[in-house]
A and B are shown apart, each in its own frame.
Chain A
Amino acid sequence: MDTNLAYALLGAVLFALSFVAFFTLSHLLKRLMAFNIMGSGCFLILVGLPQSHHGVDPVPQALVLTGIVVAVSATALALILIRRFWIEGGGACLPEHQSSSEQES
């Protein structure tokens, strides 16, 4: 098994782990981190899988760079919304998760 395929598999594992976290956690910040890790898993697959099939390829690296920019902007927007939601008295979870978070703490 070559390194590139290992990266892609690692990406798949990360994606699966954060997939579970995204839907089981309730705290908005934790879910945002899960989203970011899911994104990283995706990027690893995006770089690793094509290189394991077709050799070194600059295109996915450019794509991942764009993807990172998109993920950073999405994270920034989410952080601003979460902060404002907290200030307005909404707490750290969306209402549909509120009861489960009380059990957690």
Chain B
Amino acid sequence: MSTDLLIPTVLVIPLSWGVISLLLRSRWNPSFALLGIVIQAVAVIALSAWIYREGSQSYGLAGWEIPLGIELVASGLSVTLLALTALIALICALYALFYLRSYPRQQSYFWPLFWFLLTALNGIWLAADLFNLYVGLELLTLAAVGLVALNADKSSLEAGLRYLYFALFGSLLYLLGVALLYGGYGTLALTLLPDLLAPDLLTLLALACITLGLLMKTAIFPFHFWLPPAHGGALAPVSALLSALVVKASFYIIAVIWLSSYDALAIELFWTPQALGFLGACAIAYGSWRAFHSQHIKMLVAWSTVAQLGYLMLFFPLAFGTAEHAASLAWQGTLLHLLAHGFAKAAMFLSVGTLVLAIGSTSIKDLAGISRQVPMSLFAFGLSAVSLMGLPPSGGFNAKWLMLQSALSSEQWWWVVVILAGGLATAAYIFRVFSVSFETHKDTDFKATHPMLDVTALLLASIAIALGFFSMVPLALMELVGFQWLGGEQ
């Protein structure tokens, strides 16, 4: 087998697993899924190793080359994101193998949707043109909505429908932008567009549609309202996948498109990066405030996602219109935040899922006494919280440190205030959980949970912490081939 084929392989494996698990009897699904997890992990490791040795590679599907064919590009950035996806999805799948034993009906639908979700994510990381990104986004939405509505009760269907309508609208805005760009320039390839873009009304309108549509799908304030019920109401492994990975995909597309188009439009866009950063600051403030006032533990974690997504938006004021040094620090900080938040938030949702199983209630008040009864889940929750708050040593700390340095070196002190205040606000809502967990006055019945549930959550949380020591590994891999195909940015 030639190494070229590794690129489509990471798409074909989850796709075929998704189709086959639709046909399998549900009792075969867990073991079949386990097999797929192992194979997918091997494929991603092999692909990453190859890219690390040889640099960025591309593959034209069915031998057709750009501009006619569909091209897949595996760069340092995309294999880093592929590895992140594989690692989080696979650990969540291990968790789901044990967690879903309490949900036999949901189990048969979970696995096909899980594999389709993985296909869509990998497709987005590897896509090299705007239309492929659209198809990836839509497949991602459909799979994610299916997973949200898995319980098929009134509240989960409501959350699913609200999510679906909003996400579909966001995709159409994105598609409208894509249509305008194709109308103006006759190509959709991310490699070709940056050199062609002219600062005219059509291009600006297209960029506005694309950015707005994708902000809706990323649940950035003020378009965040669909996220908490969808992420907070779903099953634990689903919430983990959605918060850790799905919302990141649409942010990644905004970032890639802005990186490739900003140079051509810098003068016309002069205040927009600051405005986008302001939305991020609002998201941090409002998300943290709502998390602090949540009555239910899963809603607290979901609102925390809204707040943490706000940090991603600080990328715009820090990276656009600033000096090269500050911009590159901002890019590294944002990507590290994306990785660290992915691991930490997945760990947090998994540990909270175990807690909820153990105490049989989602109310924060009922958490009294968990520090004695289910210490391991609480420990995993705490470890992931360290990274979310940005305490050293953790991936979250390094990410915020890089962003702070970027803000200082571009002399935008107001973003320094936002980054620091956001960390304090995170600490405030996290310590609410801890203050209740050490109370002992109540006697609740605790159900025993499978130890693997704690092991997987702990594993993810430790990766988030370990990123604090090994941040250079993903950053080096991303720098490796970086943005050759994005018009030489960075």
Contact = CB atoms under 8 A, between A and B. Distances in A.
A84 B138 CA distance: 22
Most A C-beta atoms less than 10 A away, residue of B141, B158, B183: B183
Given A60-B182, A77-B142, A15 B157 contact: no
B176 A15 contact: yes
Interface residues of A, number: 37
Nearest to A96: B162
B169 A50 contact: no
Interface in A4-54: 8, 15, 22, 28, 31, 35, 38-39, 42, 45-46, 48-50, 52-54
B180 interface: yes
Contacts of B118: none
A94 B154 contact: no
Contacts of B184: 49, 53
State the 7 A-B residue pairs at the shortest beta-carbon distance, nearest first: A49-B183, A46-B179, A85-B157, A88-B154, A45-B179, A70-B138, A50-B183
B175 A90 contact: no
Contact of B135 (A70, A78, A95): A70
Interface string A49-86: 11011100101100100110010011001100110110
B19 interface: no
Contact of A42 (B145, B157, B172): B172
A35 B135 contact: no
B68 A59 contact: yes
Contact of A49 (B172, B175, B180): B180
B480 interface: no
Interface in B115-152: 131, 134-135, 138-139, 141-142, 145-146, 149, 152
A42 B176 contact: yes
A53 B183 CA distance: 7
Nearest to A31: B165
A1 to B, nearest CB: 15
Interface in B314-331: none
Nearest to B153: A88
B189 to A, nearest CB: 11
Nearest to A12: B176
B161 interface: yes
B186 interface: yes
B165 to A, nearest CB: 6
A84 B157 contact: yes
28 contacts: A15-B176, A28-B165, A35-B168, A35-B169, A38-B169, A39-B175, A42-B172, A42-B176, A45-B180, A46-B183, A49-B180, A50-B182, A53-B186, A57-B186, A59-B182, A60-B179, A67-B175, A70-B134, A70-B135, A74-B164, A74-B168, A78-B164, A78-B168, A81-B145, A85-B158, A90-B158, A94-B161, A94-B162
A78 B161 contact: yes
A19 B182 CA distance: 22
B169 A81 contact: no
Interface string B51-79: 00000000000000001100000000000
